[in-house]
Chain A
Amino acid sequence: MMLETIKKEFPIFRKRGVKPLAYFDNAATTQKPDVVLERMDAFYRSKNAPVHRGVYALAEAATAKYEGVRGHVKDFINAEHRKEIIFTSGATASINMVVSGVANAFLHRGDRILLSDMEHHAMIVPWQAAALRKKIKIDFVPLTAEGRINLSVYKKLLAKHKPKFVGITHVSNVLGTENPVREMVALAHAVGALVLVDAAQSVAHLDVDVQNLNCDFMAFSGHKMYGPTGIGVLYGKKELLEKLPPQVFGGHMIEQVTRTKTTYAPLPKKFEAGTAPVAEVIGLGAAISFLQKIGLKTIAKNESSLTAYALRALKNVSGLTLLGPATADARAPIFSFTIAGIHPHDIATLLDREGIAVRAGHHCAQILHESFSLDASVRVSLCVYNTPAEIDRLVVALNAIQKKFQS
């Protein structure tokens, strides 16, 4: 597939407006290609039925599709077993399931867990709630000035506190930093910690292989990888998921219910209470096919050169301070920055007038912003359909905003 023509597969970019849309908020959510929309639409129009219930042909076909996507996800992240793939409503729900389950079943008063200063609120806040409940202490790995994990402090904290759990993002949603997850997992395992990798910002950009990373759990969302909202994945090693207690209870997740007790269904059902979001799962499957058709290696290569281009281009904006690594290696195309004397919300509103959609604020990472002594930043996050020409438009627009504020 030619990356130059990929934009044509997204209906939102075919719309003719006053100015063509330069969509730079992909770390929040990506746009959806035709194939995702068409498959979801086709399901609702002619194949809609509940899964795992009916014995009629329509329901059996829906079940086969739904379970087919589970296998597809397994292959996509190279999990060992299909039952290690749990469908959730998104990365946030996946992380909450792991945190509550691990805290309730495996942790004790006084235990310590280790996170980093670049974690998304979705990792921090569930742990803070669990820490209050279980009297657990949370430590944070600091970042280097360049916005990378301080590995020497990470090693020291592992050795000193022997944490029971490490939660780490694969790619920072603010800095773009790709963390050395494989190495960090090995170091954590050496002190006996379980590791959850937040892959929300990496699955659509890198070739993610859970067996290679050897993480215990992984969480990601469908809508940040060209799929629909409302669907996400929790990956967990089979033996751990089997021990992990469910956190959401109801229909489908049971083996037997009597007046006195309930026994739970085996994996993956145990973690999928309620009616499954079938159309969303089908949409996720279509999104994975879309990614695989281009190829994650092609995507990573293309985005790496886009990153290098953007890093060079942003140097042409005076007063701009970039958060995160200044070089393209081990870095996703996410660029957060501030411009001296101009509030991020003014920049975002004025860029919007040029047809450029960016995020302004703390991007659900207040601890990270605090560690850089900032309240907010502007974030440009790119993906497969963004182009160097769009980055040129951004630079022109930013320089015009500079001029407006200085005159």
Chain B
Amino acid sequence: MDNNDIYREEIMEHYRNPQNFGVMKRPTYKVEAKNPLCGDKILLQLKVNKKGIVEQVRFSGSGCALSIASSSMFTEWMLGKTVKKLKAIGPKQIQKLISAEIGSSTDADHGPVGPARLPCMLISLYALQKMFSEGR
């Protein structure tokens, strides 16, 4: 199977056992974001220490395998990073981080999926961007 496949076993494993899944008390930041494709919502919460470093992160909600797995992988990456670094991340880096190929849809066995699914992969990035633009 293709290593860039959005349904490869690594992604399915994150979907079945998502990391940082749940809700925390007294987060520094929290935001709810909606997937424009299907209306699924996720709640993203961050606890940031005085040095501006992410100490704890939680996400919750329901969604497709890609949105849950990408949120799981992305929140793992967030831990220990500075807020400054979080603010600088964009869609290209997420794609690299998750190593999922989204391009033109093909009828090949495990080719890339169509750009329509991009919002699923970027749902927690949308949440993060909304979080910082809205403030605490």
A residues whose Cβ falls under 8 Å from a Cβ of B: 17-19, 342-346, 349-350, 352-353, 355, 360-362, 375-376, 404-405, 407
Cα–Cα, bound, A74→B63 (Å): 47
Cα–Cα, bound, A405→B15 (Å): 9
Pick from B37, B62, B65, B114: contact of A346, CB under 8 Å? B65
Kindly provide the distance from the CB of B12 to the nearest chain A CB, expressed in whole angstroms. Answer: 7
Asked whether B113 lies within 8 Å of A349 as measured between CB atoms, the reply is yes
Asked whether A343 lies within 8 Å of B105 as measured between CB atoms, the reply is no
Contacts of B117 in A (CB 8 A): 345, 349
Contacts of B37 in A (CB 8 A): 345, 361
Kindly provide the distance from the CB of B24 to the nearest chain A CB, expressed in whole angstroms. Answer: 25
Contact (A343, B65) CB under 8 Å given A350-B7, A375-B38, A405-B12: yes
Contacts of B64 in A (CB 8 A): 343-346
Cα–Cα, bound, A352→B66 (Å): 16
Residue ID in chain A nearest B39 by CB atoms:
A375
Whether, in the assembled complex, B32 has its beta carbon less than 8 Å from a beta carbon of chain A, the answer is no
Cα–Cα, bound, A360→B113 (Å): 15
Whether, in the assembled complex, B110 has its beta carbon less than 8 Å from a beta carbon of chain A, the answer is yes
Kindly provide the distance from the CB of B34 to the nearest chain A CB, expressed in whole angstroms. Answer: 11
Whether, in the assembled complex, B88 has its beta carbon less than 8 Å from a beta carbon of chain A, the answer is no
Q: Which of B7, B108, B114, B117 has the most CB of A within 10 A?
A: B7
Contacts of B12 in A (CB 8 A): 404-405, 407
Cα–Cα, bound, A18→B107 (Å): 6
17 CB-based A-B contacts, threshold 8 Å = A17-B107, A19-B107, A342-B65, A344-B38, A345-B37, A346-B64, A346-B66, A349-B7, A350-B7, A352-B105, A352-B107, A353-B109, A353-B111, A355-B107, A360-B38, A405-B12, A405-B65
Kindly provide the distance from the CB of A139 to the nearest chain B CB, expressed in whole angstroms. Answer: 25
Contact (A376, B7) CB under 8 Å given A343-B63, A404-B12, A405-B12: no
